[in-house]
Amino acid sequence: MKLFAIFGDPVAHSRSPLMHNSVFKHCNYPACYTRVHLEDGSKLREIFFTLKLSGANITVPHKEAAFKACDEIRGFANRVGVVNTIVKEDGKLIGYNTDADGFIFAISEFNTIKNVLILGAGGTAKALAAKFLEESMQVTVLNRSEGRLTFFKELGCQTSIWENFQVEKYDLVVNTTSAGLKDEQLPAPQNLLEEILENVNYVADAIYGKITPFLQLARTKGLEYKDGADMLLGQGVLANELFTKQQLKKEDIKHFMQKSFEL
């Protein structure tokens, strides 16, 4: 019996155990998936081995710490320095990033997206910004402070802080901050968000399972919006393929993960 887990702070809200355990149960795969509340990201590697995990997902705020915890990084995660999926191979921790492809899956039903505004500058923002650029989109990153914007400037994004931001027209605005996850905060000052939402076609939030204050504001404007549920599903399917070493069919993984959302 293999054991998998999700690390995060907070983590009690996570649907990942329901999703992955649904797949393991219905596909008769000998594994179980649980939650680990982790406050100190530097302890991730130690706890991973202590719990004898075979793999793990990582959510906020530990995705950059997860990158440092790995022995080897593969694929897209190398470009962004952010890991949300870890698999143990021959005693080593191998890091991947499935967030970006998961988000592309999530917004696939929106009409053509060419110009994106990202709110926040953490691990999720890094993955999405790099992926959007790969998809030939124009990307602007808006953050409270200047300190974390260097990565995005070097990547080729437009960047700004709240105080000097000049609002333009956007196809999509995405909140990648934790604002609204365990509080009723907005990801930026309300007057600034009001102006942004007057100049955007679609709105998305990486947070799932609730209508955040940000999405509530978008709803009052009559905008089409999505929470992070589809992103969670997309990245979860890819992570499960890595956990099971592609022994299960992707269609089955997706089907049983979707069924878990009905619980």
Long-range pairs, 182-189, Cβ under 8 A, ≥24 = 182/10, 182/13, 184/213, 185/213, 186/213, 186/214, 186/217, 187/119, 187/120, 187/214, 188/119, 188/142, 188/144, 188/162, 189/162
Contact between 169 and 199 (Cβ < 8 Å): yes
Mean pLDDT for all residues in the chain: 96
pLDDT of 105 = 87
Q: Indicate the pLDDT class of residue 52, thresholds 50, 70 and 90.
A: very high
Helices (H), 198-249: 213-220, 229-243
Structure tokens at 194: 């009001």
141 pLDDT tier (thresholds 50, 70, 90): very high
pLDDT at residue 111 in the model: 86
Are 191 and 217 in contact by the 8 Å Cβ rule? The answer is: no
Are the C-beta atoms of 143 and 159 separated by less than 8 Å?
A: yes
Output Rg (C-alpha) for the chain, integer angstroms.
18
Query: What integer is the mean pLDDT of 93-119?
Result: 93
**Confidence band (pLDDT; 50, 70, 90) for 54?**
very high
| pLDDT score, position 109 | 86
Across residues 127-136, what is the average pLDDT?
96
| pLDDT per residue as tens digits for the range 1-40 | 999 999 999 999 999 999 999 999 999 999 999 999 999 9
Q: What percent of the chain has pLDDT over 70?
A: 100
- Cα dihedral 215, 218, 220, 223 sign: negative
The per-residue pLDDT for range 225-239, each reduced to its tens digit, is: 999 999 999 999 999
> What whole-number distance in Å separates Cα of residue 24 and Cα of residue 29?
5
Catalytic residue ranges: 63
68-81 pLDDT per residue, tens: 999 999 999 999 99
User: For residue 209, what pLDDT band results from cuts at 50, 70 and 90?
Assistant: confident
